């Protein structure tokens, strides 16, 4: 088995010599040790003391590598900033990563402590635990490290630190100034970030931004992402009788809030899943070149559908990447009365739909929310942002309470941006294969404040495996991705932009 | 204040002399004492031992009044049966009441123990507690007894017992044979009743059935009810991706189960609340005479709407009583993903609507459920009664799991039935006012087994106040309704049917 895996490593990292492969492996080994140490410090952003302990660790580690570091106070948890000594003549790269992690429920993990990294090897459909001593013999790139934030996002931070070591060892002169900003509330939506970026604008000034967060494309190929969708939310509530009523006494007399809600929701989409609210998709055009890039992404849609267990996808785009170019309208929750064992024979007093809207640069969140609001109004609803008063109830047949969430706008860097070209070329040369270019990814990364304040191009260069169980129990990092990440950082940092 | 109330008593019971009023009051006083004793025995049908203790109490009390009693074993809790010695020449009345009660949550009551009756007087918008000693001075018919089952349905049982005492005291020769069947699982839908009525058919044989359960019409006027709607339920579930998915990654790609459900629900009713499923209202015709009876019910719809806080009722009928002549289609519950604080940005894996259908005699429950099923099929859904398999998911775009509840059919005795005429005339003569005749009430009383097996006319003659908080905390019985109930029983039992 070891032979086979040794071969597979050479397939992935075919661009490097045997000598370099050995050096890389030693760097991977050091990264594993340092990552175990880093993960052992809990990093739930709800625990202030934990965040501080992580900052102390980061300060020591970046200082050791010759960085100047600062702790940047914000309205919430502090940000961590590090920079190598600057030279005015060089372009500056700003790296964004985060060191906070999702909360853990240890009872749902296959290991006693999610902050205590466990080494595992694939076995059948599952995993078997290994002692870390096994790494002394040989490092198998199929093995994985299980623990909170191994992938999201402590792993990339430690890969970065070890790349700096490697570059120093080889006395490489870096053609860039390097700044690093590490977020402490990314898993809590980075609420303080917008204000902080404004406040520390001068400090953060750079020529382009690289975000090392999230997984590479499902195909496992090198990936550069030019943007991400934004998000906003709406909560829609309709009303029946003021208190739940016996469905015998008032069934087909008291208006049913569930039917009212169903009717307005049904009017928002056609049966194929396309939004039919006036103007919802306005402003979006996809030219031939763009369509080419979208089609070049090696998505296996048969596999995606098999995984989701769906026959047909919603017909917003003709294929997955095309669908992501449009804003979405999603019912993330529905509630009225009770369901299942708790169901009671009542006419409920209200019915609520929780909506999320994923945004693209052409669809401003506030504009979209107003379109939804207008659409509801056209169906004859009186709209309020509060629970309706008795007077309002007696004056209007159909009432909807609409409350709105905040808007995180989308961002998208031009596909022809020279820094983007540089990243794609560098990855292509490093791994000798085509780079997956994602024009916009479906999810939302809170990067908009950087784009808005610093006015610089931004790119997501993900480093970890797609099946890392991010945000869930049994989060993990494939050891091969550590080698991948070090190679990515090494080649970006040592290759001058043409 | 006492003078005013004394006056109001005379207004309600104007048909009786001052002498009779004093005798009635003494009977009311004894009923109160006996009801306190009866209520003190908890009667949650989930507690077998409590039900048995109630049966012991009933056996003693009915025996004391000269009844022969039996405990009738069933598949669940036993029924209680009592009968006065029979004479073949007389017609037989079967009375149905129940002695079990809804579960209690003492923390939600304004008294420490819901099984410990508390006497209260109205004060402002609320109530003030009184000592039972106050009843020695004078009985105020506006005062109320608070406790579980004071109204639903122990109160009527004790009124009945005290009426028998009164009739005996006056040496009345009853023109009827009297049988009494007391249910022990009414609040649990009387599941064992159907089989038991079949089993004890000979014992229960009678000329007509009087059900003393539920409140009189909201107007407080004497009320006779000829029928009640039946009920059945449906649970409808639609499907999205097999597991909840990140709404960024799969929003406008993975089908949303909430929209699918909304669209099929929306297609079942028009925007005014009328069911538009083919054939749903088939077979229902209301002739002029029937419309006359329906219109004669003194419903104050302005008041009903004010209480429900609705502007317009669903347009199934043109007024409340007319609406009740039709079956209903009610969404009693909706659920998908999470709402409120727990809302998460996911495409949920499923969405469920819980439906109840209230039935009228023209709309058989099984037929209506099949109409709904056909309607769903016409919208392009593949229907199953289980969670769909992976193969089914990959083979069909729209899947709905439909599960069905049992059917309790409606019953309705003809408005021209001579026993009905006798009851209406008797009440009219007793209280010297028009009797409210309800052709069918909205709720469901599990009486169908009697009607189906015994093939006798049935009537609901309710005795308690409409605002009795039945099934809820602070259930209560207005003392004036005790006097009313005794008068009703007394006059029915002592007036020969013409």
Model pLDDT for residues A249-262, shown as the tens digit of each residue:
999 999 999 999 99
Chain A, residues 116-175, CB within 8 A of chain B, namely none
B394/A311 Cβ within 8 A = yes
Bridge partners of A350, per DSSP, are A239
Do the domain assignments include residue A319? no
* pLDDT band (50, 70, 90) for residue B15: low
Same domain, B391 and B473: no
Name the DSSP class of B271: T
Q: What is the pLDDT of residue B3?
A: 37
From residue A176, how far is each of A112, A456, A463 by CA, in Å? 43, 16, 21
On whether any CB of chain B is under 8 Å from the CB of A348, the answer is yes
Do the domain assignments include residue B308? no
On whether any CB of chain B is under 8 Å from the CB of A180, the answer is no
Which segment of A54-58, B9-13, B174-178, B267-271 scores lowest on mean pLDDT? B9-13
Q: Which of B349, B370, B404 is the last residue of a domain?
A: B404
A458-460 and A476-478 strand pairing: unpaired
Q: Which of B404, B432, B458 is the last residue of a domain?
A: B404
On whether any CB of chain A is under 8 Å from the CB of B351, the answer is yes
Q: What is the pLDDT of residue B498?
A: 67
Would you say residue A143 has pLDDT above 70? yes
Q: What is the pLDDT of residue A45?
A: 84
Q: What is the pLDDT of residue A498?
A: 67
Write out the residue range of the structural domain in which residue A490 sits: 2-228+411-494
Which residue from A minimizes the CA distance to B214? A249
Neighbours of B170 (CB within 10 A): 10
Do the domain assignments include residue A293? no
Burial B200-233 (b: 16+ CB within 10 A, else e): beeebebbbbbbbbbbbbbebebbbbbbbbbbbb
From residue A269, how far is each of A311, A334, B139, B237 by CA, in Å? 19, 16, 64, 19
Would you say residue B432 has pLDDT above 60? yes
Do the domain assignments include residue B435? yes
Would you say residue B6 has pLDDT above 60? no
Same domain, B183 and B249: no
From B240, B246, B310, residue closest to A241, measured CB to CB: B310
Would you say residue B431 has pLDDT above 60? yes
Same domain, B143 and B190: yes
B328-337 and B350-359 strand pairing: antiparallel
From B326, B332, B353, residue closest to A344, measured CB to CB: B332
3-class DSSP assignment, residue A346: strand
* pLDDT band (50, 70, 90) for residue B452: confident
The first and second tokens of residue B458, run together, are 């049935």
Do the domain assignments include residue A289? no
Which segment of A328-337, B32-41, B467-476 scores lowest on mean pLDDT? B467-476
Same domain, A102 and A179: yes
Average pLDDT, chain A: 94
B252/A330 Cβ within 8 A = yes
Q: Alpha helix (H) ranges present in A382-473?
A: 390-395, 418-431, 448-454
* pLDDT band (50, 70, 90) for residue B14: very low
A:B CB pairs within 8 Å: 299
* pLDDT band (50, 70, 90) for residue A382: very high
- Terminus-to-terminus CA distance in chain A, angstroms? 42
Same domain, A20 and A133: yes
Q: What is the pLDDT of residue B485?
A: 98
Neighbours of B52 (CB within 10 A): 15
Same domain, B238 and B128: no
Which residue from A minimizes the CA distance to B274? A252
pLDDT tens string B134-171 = 999 889 999 999 999 999 999 999 999 999 999 999 99
Which segment of A147-156, B10-19, B397-406 scores lowest on mean pLDDT? B10-19
Output A21 or A270, whichever has higher pLDDT.
A270
The first and second tokens of residue A72, run together, are 């940047």
Cα angle at A466 between A225 and A78, to 5 degrees?
70
Do the domain assignments include residue B310? no
From B269, B323, B335, residue closest to A335, measured CB to CB: B335
Q: What is the pLDDT of residue B221?
A: 97
Would you say residue A15 has pLDDT above 70? no
Output B78 or A341, whichever has higher pLDDT.
B78
d(CA A164, CA B289): 94
A266/B442 Cβ within 8 A = no
CB A270 within 8 Å of CB B259:
no
- The interface predicted TM-score of the complex, written ipTM, equals 0.88
Mutate to test the interface with B, among A253, A274, A306 (most CBs of B within 10 A): A253
d(CA A11, CA B88): 101
On whether any CB of chain A is under 8 Å from the CB of B270, the answer is no
Arithmetic mean of pLDDT, B302-328: 96
B390/A320 Cβ within 8 A = no
From residue A277, how far is each of A230, A285, A355, B448 by CA, in Å? 19, 18, 14, 49
Of the candidates A470, A497, A468, the one whose C-alpha atom is nearest the C-alpha of residue A482 is A468
A231/B323 Cβ within 8 A = no
Omega before A153 within 30 of 0, i.e. cis:
yes
d(CA A406, CA A422): 35
B345/A308 Cβ within 8 A = no
Same domain, A272 and A381: yes
Q: Kindly tell me the burial class for residue A465, based on how many C-beta atoms sit within 10 Å of its own C-beta (0-12, 13-18, 19 or more).
A: buried
Arithmetic mean of pLDDT, A196-205: 96
Output B221 or A345, whichever has higher pLDDT.
B221
Chain B, residues 417-476, CB within 8 A of chain A, namely 441-444
Q: What is the CATH number of the domain that holds B367?
A: 3.30.70.360
On whether any CB of chain B is under 8 Å from the CB of A278, the answer is no
pLDDT tens string B106-134 = 999 999 999 999 999 999 999 999 999 99
d(CA A423, CA A488): 9
Q: What is the pLDDT of residue B364?
A: 94
Cα angle at A325 between A323 and A326, to 5 degrees?
75
3-class DSSP assignment, residue B130: strand
Same domain, A471 and A422: yes
Q: What is the pLDDT of residue B16?
A: 76
Q: What is the pLDDT of residue B222?
A: 98
CB B246 within 8 Å of CB B345:
yes
B354/A338 Cβ within 8 A = yes
Would you say residue B396 has pLDDT above 60? yes
* Residues of chain B neighbouring A358 (CB-CB closer than 8 A): 247-248, 251-252
A118-123 and A144-146 strand pairing: antiparallel
On whether any CB of chain B is under 8 Å from the CB of A358, the answer is yes
From A242, A249, A308, residue closest to B241, measured CB to CB: A308
Which residue from B minimizes the CA distance to A275? B252
Would you say residue B451 has pLDDT above 70? yes
A338/B340 Cβ within 8 A = no
CB A340 within 8 Å of CB B233:
no
Give me the number of domains chain A comprises. 2
B339/A348 Cβ within 8 A = no
On whether any CB of chain A is under 8 Å from the CB of B352, the answer is yes
* Residues of chain B neighbouring A443 (CB-CB closer than 8 A): 246, 248-249
Q: What is the pLDDT of residue B119?
A: 98
Same domain, A335 and A483: no
A343/B252 Cβ within 8 A = no
DSSP H or E segment with residue B202? helix B201-204
Q: Which of A363, A379, A404 is the last residue of a domain?
A: A404
Helix A418-431 vs helix A479-494: crossing angle, to nearest 10: 130
From residue A78, how far is each of A97, A186, A204, A454 by CA, in Å? 14, 12, 15, 20
Q: What is the pLDDT of residue A366?
A: 96
Would you say residue A7 has pLDDT above 90? no
Cα angle at A194 between A192 and A195, to 5 degrees?
70
Omega before B454 within 30 of 0, i.e. cis:
no
CB A182 within 8 Å of CB A174:
no
Would you say residue B12 has pLDDT above 80? no
Q: What is the pLDDT of residue B45?
A: 84
The first and second tokens of residue A400, run together, are 């909807």
Arithmetic mean of pLDDT, A319-341: 96
Same domain, A397 and A479: no
Cα angle at B77 between B72 and B78, to 5 degrees?
15
Helix B18-39 vs helix B154-169: crossing angle, to nearest 10: 140
Same domain, A45 and A113: yes
Bridge partners of B118, per DSSP, are B146
Q: What is the pLDDT of residue B19?
A: 86
A351/B334 Cβ within 8 A = yes
Supply the pTM of this predicted model: 0.88
Do the domain assignments include residue A107? yes
d(CA B54, CA B443): 26
* Residues of chain A neighbouring B233 (CB-CB closer than 8 A): 343, 345
Do the domain assignments include residue A295? no
From B253, B263, B346, residue closest to A320, measured CB to CB: B253
On whether any CB of chain A is under 8 Å from the CB of B267, the answer is yes
* pLDDT band (50, 70, 90) for residue A282: very high
Q: What is the pLDDT of residue A4?
A: 39
Same domain, A186 and A37: yes
Q: What is the CATH number of the domain that holds A67?
A: 3.40.630.10
Proportion of chain B above pLDDT 70, given as a percent:
97
């Amino acid at each position: 088995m070891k032979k086979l895996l040794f071969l597979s490593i050479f397939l992935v990292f075919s661009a490097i010599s045997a000598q370099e492969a050995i050096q890389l492996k030693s760097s991977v080994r050091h990264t594993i040790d340092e990552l175990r140490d880093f993960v052992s410090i809990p990093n739930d952003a709800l625990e202030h003391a934990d965040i501080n302990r992580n900052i102390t660790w980061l300060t020591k580690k970046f200082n050791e590598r010759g960085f100047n570091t600062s702790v940047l106070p914000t309205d919430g948890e502090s940000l961590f900033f590090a920079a190598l000594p600057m030279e005015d003549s060089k372009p500056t790269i700003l790296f964004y990563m985060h060191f906070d992690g999702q909360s853990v429920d240890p009872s749902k993990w296959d290991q006693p402590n999610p902050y205590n990294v466990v080494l595992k090897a694939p076995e059948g459909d599952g995993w078997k635990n290994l002692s870390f001593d096994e790494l002394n013999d040989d490092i198998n790139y199929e093995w994985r490290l299980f623990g909170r934030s191994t992938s999201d996002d402590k792993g990339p931070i430690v890969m970065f630190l070890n790349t700096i070591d490697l570059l120093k060892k080889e006395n490489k002169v870096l053609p860039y100034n390097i700044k690093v900003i590490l977020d402490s509330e990314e898993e809590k939506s980075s609420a303080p970030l917008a204000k902080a970026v404004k406040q520390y604008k001068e400090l953060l000034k750079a020529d382009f931004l690289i975000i090392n967060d999230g997984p590479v494309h499902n195909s496992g190929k090198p990936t550069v992402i030019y943007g991400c969708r934004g998000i906003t939310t709406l909560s829609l509530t309709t009303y029946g009788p003021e208190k739940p009523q016996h469905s015998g006494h008032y069934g087909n007399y008291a208006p049913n809030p569930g039917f009212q809600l169903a009717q307005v929701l049904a009017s928002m989409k056609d049966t194929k899943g396309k939004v039919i609210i006036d103007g919802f998709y306005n402003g979006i055009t996809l030219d031939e070149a763009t369509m080419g890039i979208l089609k070049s992404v090696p998505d296996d849609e048969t596999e995606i559908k098999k995984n989701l267990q769906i026959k047909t996808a919603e017909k917003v785009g003709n294929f997955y990447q095309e669908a992501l170019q449009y804003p979405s309208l999603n019912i993330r929750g529905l509630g009225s009365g009770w369901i299942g064992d708790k169901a009671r024979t009542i006419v409920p007093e209200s019915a609520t739909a929780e909506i999320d809207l994923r945004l693209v640069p052409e669809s401003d969140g506030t504009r979209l929310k107003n379109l939804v609001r207008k659409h509801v109004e056209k169906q004859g609803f009186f709209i309020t942002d509060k629970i309706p008063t008795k007077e309002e109830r007696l004056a209007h047949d159909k009432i909807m309470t609409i409350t709105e969430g905040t808007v995180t706008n989308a961002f998208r860097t031009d596909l022809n941006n020279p820094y983007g070209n540089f990243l794609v070329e560098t990855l292509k040369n490093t791994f000798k294969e085509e780079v997956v270019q994602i024009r916009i990814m479906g999810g939302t990364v809170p990067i908009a404040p950087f784009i808005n304040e610093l006015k610089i191009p931004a790119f997501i260069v993900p480093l970890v495996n797609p099946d890392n169980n991010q945000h869930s129990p049994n989060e993990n990092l494939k050891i091969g991705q550590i080698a991948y990440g070090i190679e990515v950082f090494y080649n970006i940092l040592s290759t001058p932009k043409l």
